[in-house]
Amino acid sequence: MEPNQGLPISKLKNLSIFRLSRSELKEIKLDGLYELAILSVSDCELLERLSFPSNINEISVIGCPKLVEIHFPGALESLGRLGIERCESFERLSSLLEQGCDELTFCGGRLSLLLRTFKKLKEFSVLECPKLVEIRVVGSPELLEIFSVDGCLVLERVGDLSNLKNLESLSMRECGALRAVEGLDQLEGLCRLLVGDYGSLERWIDVLSVKIPDECEMLIWDCRGSLSDLCPRKIECISFNRYRERILLRPNQHPWYYRLLCCLL
């Protein structure tokens, strides 16, 4: 099947919103739609490749199990929201600006998010993409507020979050293989933290040097690991200050300087 077969692309030059659902197309090429602002593609079970112009504002791709590649011709300087969900075969987010597999690619299960390419990005989410092993954030974004990686079962590492100074919401649920989240304790603007394993936080956050605000709301699912005794319910909602108190007040859990600090609280 030819790209865009059945779509009158030549007549859509002024189109600003493109929504497509339950199509049998294998490839969609929208590069020539320079007025396109919003792109939404859902439940296209045969779709393998998708491309669009670089001036787009919002991208949502949901339920495209055969999608392998999303391609764009340059820096997405206007993109404010990028969401990819339930794309089981997704392997590659590519740009003509690429200089290698560690620049801006989803290559071998590793995604590098090069923030100078996404200058206006406010919301980034990757949900239920089982081939994703690692996410690396490169640069110091000024606008990114929401960062979600949920249901990525083989995801092992997220780094480096320390530059996300304006990040308000961070979600990492149902990522059972996650071993490292670099820079989490440096998110000084964080308002909401959603995680799926209470015990993992003990490895990711140094409560003595952390910059996360005391009032940050923490929602914790499926409490397991070394701190499961502090989380009696399946879903726990506490402030970060309360979480820190629980850690510091645990007897014989930390070195002497932790216990000394407990006495001073």
- Overall domain count for the chain: 2
Are residues 126 and 208 both part of a single domain?
Answer: no
Helix residue ranges, H only, 94-145: none
pLDDT at position 153, please? 83
pLDDT at position 140, please? 66
**In a 3-state reduction of DSSP, which class is residue 128?**
coil
Q: Which tokens sit at 173?
A: 């649920």
Nearest to 82 by CA among 109, 104, 107: 104
Are residues 238 and 151 both part of a single domain?
Answer: no
Are residues 60 and 164 both part of a single domain?
Answer: yes
What are the C-alpha distances in Å from 109 to residues 3, 46, 105, 258?
Answer: 26, 21, 9, 38
Are residues 58 and 144 both part of a single domain?
Answer: yes
Are residues 222 and 236 both part of a single domain?
Answer: yes
Residues of the chain with pLDDT under 70: 1-10, 72-74, 91-117, 139-141, 197-203, 222-234, 249-265
Question: Which of the listed residues 182, 210, 227 is the one where a domain comes to its end?
Answer: 182
Are residues 1 and 79 both part of a single domain?
Answer: yes
Are residues 175 and 196 both part of a single domain?
Answer: no
pLDDT at position 98, please? 41
Are residues 32 and 95 both part of a single domain?
Answer: yes
Q: Which tokens sit at 45?
A: 């079970």
pTM of structure: 0.80
* Domain range enclosing 102: 1-182
Q: pLDDT tens digit string along 220-248?
A: 776 555 445 555 556 778 899 988 887 77
**DSSP character for 163?**
G
Question: Which of the listed residues 136, 153, 182 is the one where a domain comes to its end?
Answer: 182
Q: Which tokens sit at 144?
A: 């990114």
